Amino acid sequence: MSVDIATVKRVARLSRIAVSEDDLERMTGELNGILGFVELLSEVDVSGVEPMTSVTPITMRKRADAVTDGDKAADIVANAPNSDQNFFLVPKVVE
């Protein structure tokens, strides 16, 4: 399988990465290079094989459903590019 420029544009949009028209062509070539490389997998017969979900056969440890952390709003917004009264500020979403 290979991708064309329209698909790369769509994937860039899904990835939320702005790609300039100039870069689209380069990216299309690079992505096709990688997709061509992974194409090697098509020769493997995987019928009846379970997909891997965990490399170690463990059951996930669960903790008690209790509050163990929190009350640190100032810490959470400490690194925000723009915040006010412990809220993250973003451009207007609703007109």
Partner 1 sequence: MTELTNLTISEARAKLKGREITAVELTDAYLSAIDAANGALNAYVTVTPDKAREMAKASDARLADGKGGPLEGIPLGVKDLFATRDIHTQACSHILDGFKPKYESTVTQNLWNHGAVMLGKLNMDEFAMGSSNESSYYGPSVNPWKAKGSDEKLVPGGSSGGSAAAVAAHLCAGATATDTGGSIRQPAAFTGTVGIKPTYGRCSRWGIVAYASSLDQAGPIARDVRDAAILLKSMASVDTKDTTSVDLPVPDYEASLGQSVKGMKIGIPKEYRIVGMPEEIEKLWQQGVEWLKDAGAEVVEISLPHTKYALPAYYIVAPAEASSNLARYDGVRYGLRVDGKDIADMYEKSRAAGFGKEVQRRIMIGTYVLSAGYYDAYYLKAQKVRTLIKRDFEEAFHAGVDAILAPITPSSAFAIGDKELAADPVKMYLQDVFTVTLNMAGLPGISVPAGLDHKGLPLGLQIIGKPFEEETLFKTAHVIEQAAGKFTPAKWW
Q: How far is the CB of 85 from partner 1 (least distance, A)?
A: 16
Locate the DSSP E strands across 1-95. 83-84, 87-88
Q: How far is CA 89 from CA 16, 65, 69, 71, 75, in A?
A: 19, 31, 24, 20, 16
CB of 70 to partner 1, least distance (A): 13
Question: Is residue 16 part of the contact set for partner 1 (CB under 8 A)?
Answer: yes
Q: Which residues pair with 50 in a beta bridge?
A: none
Which parts of this chain interact with partner 1 (CB under 8 A)? 1, 3, 7-8, 11-19, 27, 30-31, 33-35, 37-41, 44, 46, 49-56, 58, 60-61, 63, 72, 75-82, 88, 90-93
